[in-house]
């Protein structure tokens, strides 16, 4: 028959509880030991006494310094006023009135020289009094109609003489060429300038402008002047 142990008498039954209680007490005692502070009843050990020999003490002698005397105040002598003698009497010049002589002959109007008007050498198309007249626009009655006719005839001239350069077509070059030329005093075309995306397009634009007919020159105050004019020529591939 197997012998049965009494659970209440087993010494290992509460061993884990005893272990934790012991560990807790040990930690508490260690904490109290670390935090324990001891105070001394006397603090004489924390004091130091410095003894200096009497022969090392240097007495600073008292010296008397004489300050400089303050500057004496400057006495400003007032300027001496002298009475000048009277000036010599100056004879005043009498200005005689210049009255016109009744016997003076009056000049004729034809003999009076008239200054010439300062008319500029060059006047722009937009501000000139009498714009250049394109051939075929002479019959227009007003200045506005002549300007409109000029613009229309310029467009017709470009369309009539327009020719797309073959090298530009093959390379697919297109764009706008800005052309500026001057209508001279005799109505001829000169000083042609242009700027475009390609040299071949600029050459073609110059050829078109060179075919412009001679025009009636622009006039400012009745005098023929040079008139700059600008127009764009567009090259576009279909």
In tens, the pLDDT along 155-209 reads 999 999 999 988 888 888 889 999 999 999 999 999 999 898 889 899 999 999 9
Calculate what percentage of the chain has a pLDDT beyond 90.
Answer: 25
Alpha-carbon distance of 230 to 232, in angstroms, equals: 7
- Which residues in 108-130 are b (16+ Cβ under 10 Å) and which e? eeeeeeeeeeeeeeebebeebeb
**Least-confidence region, from 67-81, 173-187, 209-223:** 67-81
Which pLDDT belongs to residue 116? 62
Q: Which residues, 6+ apart, have CB-to-CB distance to 230 below 8 Å?
A: 178, 179, 180
Alpha-carbon distance of 185 to 207, in angstroms, equals: 22
Which pLDDT belongs to residue 169? 87
Q: Quick one: average pLDDT of 88-95?
A: 67
Alpha-carbon distance of 218 to 137, in angstroms, equals: 13
pLDDT per residue as tens digits for the range 110-142 = 766 665 667 788 888 888 888 999 998 888 888
**CB-CB contact of 125 with 227 (8 Å):** yes
The domain locations on the chain are 143-235
Q: Which pair of tokens denotes residue 217? A: 């020159």
Question: Which of 3-7, 73-77, 108-112 has the highest average model confidence (pLDDT)?
Answer: 73-77
**CB-CB contact of 228 with 192 (8 Å):** no
Fold held by 143-235: 3.30.1150
Q: Would you give the distance in Å from CA 104 to the centre of its chain?
A: 66
Nearest alpha carbon to residue 191 among 122, 139, 143: 122
Mean pLDDT of the chain: 80
Round the CA-based radius of gyration of the chain to a whole number and report it.
Answer: 61
For residue 187, how many C-alpha atoms fall within 13 Å in the half-sphere facing its CB?
9
Which pLDDT belongs to residue 208? 92
Alpha-carbon distance of 196 to 24, in angstroms, equals: 100
Question: Which of 29-38, 75-84, 104-113 has the highest average model confidence (pLDDT)?
Answer: 29-38
For residue 164, how many C-alpha atoms fall within 13 Å in the half-sphere facing its CB?
15
């Amino acid at each position: 028959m197997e012998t049965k142990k009494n659970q209440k008498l087993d010494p290992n039954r509460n061993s884990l509880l005893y272990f934790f209680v012991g560990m807790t007490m040990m930690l508490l005692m260690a904490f109290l030991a670390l935090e324990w502070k001891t105070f001394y009843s006397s603090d004489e050990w924390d004091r130091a006494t410095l003894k200096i020999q009497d022969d090392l003490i240097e007495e600073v002698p008292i010296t008397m310094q004489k300050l400089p005397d303050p500057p004496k105040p400057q006495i400003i002598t007032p300027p001496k006023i002298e009475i000048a003698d009277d000036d010599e009497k100056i004879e005043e010049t009498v200005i005689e009135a210049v009255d016109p002589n009744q016997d003076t002959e009056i000049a004729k109007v034809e003999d009076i020289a008239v200054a010439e008007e300062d008319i500029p050498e060059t006047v722009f198309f937009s501000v000139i009094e009498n714009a250049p007249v394109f051939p075929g626009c002479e019959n227009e009655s007003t200045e506005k109609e002549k300007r409109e006719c000029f613009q229309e005839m310029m467009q017709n001239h470009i369309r009539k003489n327009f020719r797309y350069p073959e090298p530009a077509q093959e390379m697919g070059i297109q764009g706008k060429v800005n052309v500026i030329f001057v209508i001279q005093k005799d109505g001829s075309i000169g000083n042609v300038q242009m700027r475009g995306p390609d040299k071949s397009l600029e050459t073609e634009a110059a050829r078109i402008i060179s075919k412009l007919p001679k025009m009636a020159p622009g006039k400012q105050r009745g005098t023929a002047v040079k008139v700059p004019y600008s127009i764009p020529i567009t090259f576009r591939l279909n």
